[in-house]
Amino acid sequence: MAEDEGLRARKRRETRKMISDVATGLFVARGFDAVTVAEVAAAANVSKMTVFNYFPRKEDLFFDRQEEGIALLRQAFRERRKGASPVAVLRALARSLVESDHAFARMNAGVAGFWHMVEVSPALRARLREMGEEAEAVLVEELTGQVGAPREDPIARLLAAQVVAAIRVAYSEGLRQIATGEAPEVARAAVVELFERGLTMMSASARGTPYA
């Protein structure tokens, strides 16, 4: 039974990746807004319903790694060392992503092209804002869970908002540098430096609270 479940899970991952890869190819060739879910389904040789079974919204075909990002965030807090502050957890996560050359930490022309598609699509920009709110909600859940505070704790909400803002500002600066011709390693260093500044601000905000 376990073997059958493992096989089904693997097939689902493979199907999901195949659909995502097909969609990405169409988006790159024609632009996100010009491609329909029906066209993605036809190109992937699956039904439209199958596409929606894996990706509830068309925008999720584009942002197909959102779940992975949330999972990495949750895992970082679940595996934190005893006594480690939220800032230390987030700093360690960022460092591991950079050192492993994870896709989330890359900064190059391909990444810039991806985000240019977001910039020119109102639907993708709207979904990106929602994703920021979702990430904030997860951070609040993890932060309050660590100290036994209520979910509506304003300090946790403030800290979560600072983290998401730091990511947004740092990443946009890296993309700006790529656009002006800076080398990828220079742009990535700028992203890391700005995110570190954001964490320092978060640490100051947490001082004197259970999150410090």
pLDDT of residue 6: 79
Cβ contact 101:168 at 8 Å: no
Across the chain, which has 212 residues, the per-10-residue mean pLDDT values are: 73 94 95 96 97 96 93 92 86 90 90 92 96 95 92 95 95 93 93 93 92 88
Confidence at residue 5, expressed as pLDDT on a 0 to 100 scale: 64
Identity at 95, one-letter amino acid code: R
The radius of gyration of the chain from alpha carbons, rounded to an integer in Å, stands at 19
Taking CA atoms, 37 is separated from 16, 42, 50, 134, 183, in Å, by: 14, 9, 10, 24, 36
CATH 1.10.10.60 residue window(s) in the chain: 2-61
What does the pLDDT read at residue 7?
Answer: 83
Rounded Cα gap, residues 127 and 124, in angstroms: 5
pLDDT at residue 98 in the model: 87
CATH 1.10.357.10 in the chain, residue ranges: 66-205
- pLDDT at position 4 is 62
| pTM, full prediction | 0.86
Indicate the class that CATH gives domain 2-61. Answer: mainly alpha
DSSP codes, 30-57: H-GGG--HHHHHHHHTS-HHHHHHH-SS
Q: What is the pLDDT of residue 158?
A: 95
- Which CATH number is 66-205's, of 1.10.357.10, 3.40.50.720, 3.30.70.3340, 3.40.50.11740? 1.10.357.10
